[in-house]
Amino acid sequence: MQLVFTAQNLQANQLVQLTSAHYQHVIQVLRQPVGAQLEVVGADQQAYRGEIKTIDQEQKSFSVQLAAEALADTELPVNAEIICGLPKREKTEWIVQKATELGASQIVFFAGQRSIMRWRPEQVAKKLARLQQIAASAAEQSHRRQIPVVAYWPNLLKALPTGPHNLVAYEEVVKGQHDTELGRQLRQLQLELSQRPTVKPTVRVIFGPEGGLAPAEVASLQALAVNCIGLGPRILRTETAPLYFLSSLSYAIEVESFAK
């Protein structure tokens, strides 16, 4: 079922008017008729099932009758921020698409010491707009309640906010040994969520570009109290590592912690 994001504040049982871009996409491109069902997400990230009631071709708008109850939330109970050393172009696009499906709240690219690519200042806005569009499509497709923010940091160390859950995935963490820091970190998050369910903690994980992080970069991060984590015994490509983390995060706090 099609999902659309609107900046409006939605109420149960409301008759919502949607216009312009929504009209073009839902009515003109997807050719949805009166009576068609869709999901609408409002400014407060509440989503409602709705039915198209009227279509006004002259005004290029249509009305949707919302259901009496909001749909269940689909967002991770934590803010998950993925901070990736800038890889080749097509990899940025699918990291954004997949990280959005897997629940990331922010997706950042930074120019790592070993990044083959660099974004010239005049390129940044255009590239971010393209990636933000990919995030919006993936958020609709995966029935998210928010569209992740895509950002670019020319300087990782200066831009990194402080926080208790800042992590760096570092493959030099001895492979083949059982590195359990990720397990400790996710168990800590499970504990925090069980103790203070109303607070939404933020976990940030930094990933190297194709060439990996330079030891000096990792040392600088550790000086900022960023913890090194491994992602299992196999060596993951730069675009695979964030998906491993986000999947493990979802499993630990959305699936496993509820299993009896």
| Among the listed residues 75, 107, 81, the one whose alpha carbon sits nearest the alpha carbon of residue 167 | 81
| Residues with Cβ within 8 Å of residue 18, at least 6 apart in sequence | 4, 6, 26, 40, 61, 62, 63, 64
Residue from 98, 127, 165, 204 in contact with a second copy (CB under 8 A): 98
Using the rule CB under 8 A, which residue among 178, 195, 216, 223 binds a second copy?
178
Comparing CB distances to a second copy, the nearer of 54 and 194 is 194
Residues 185-204 that bind a second copy (CB under 8 A): 186-187
Output the smallest distance, CB 178 to a second copy, in A: 4
The pair phi, psi for residue 124, each rounded to 5°, is -60, -50
- Report the sign of the C-alpha dihedral through residues 100, 103, 109, 112, in that order: negative
Residue whose structure tokens are 């698409």: 97
Applying the rule CB under 8 A, the residues between 224 and 253 that interact with a second copy are: 230-237, 240, 243-245, 247-248, 250-252
Q: Position 66: which residue type?
A: L
Candidates 53, 175, 196, 200: give the one binding a second copy (CB under 8 A).
Answer: 175
Question: Residue 101 interacts with a second copy (CB under 8 A)?
Answer: yes
Q: Residue 71 or 128: which CB sits closer to a second copy?
A: 71
Contacts of 6 (CB under 8 A, 6+ apart): 16, 18, 22, 40, 41, 42, 43
Choose between 56 and 172: whose C-beta lies nearer to a second copy.
172
Question: Beta strands of the chain (E only): which ranges?
Answer: 3-5, 15-19, 37-41, 47-56, 61-70, 79-85, 106-110, 149-153, 166-169, 202-207, 227-229
Nearer to a second copy, 196 or 234 (CB): 234
The rounded radius of gyration (Å) of the Cα atoms in the chain is: 21
Binding track, positions 121-160, relative to a second copy; x by CB under 8 A:
--------------------xxxx----------------
Residues lying near a second copy in the complex (CB under 8 A) are found at 71-74, 98, 101-103, 141-144, 175-180, 182-184, 186-187, 230-237, 240, 243-245, 247-248, 250-252, 254-260
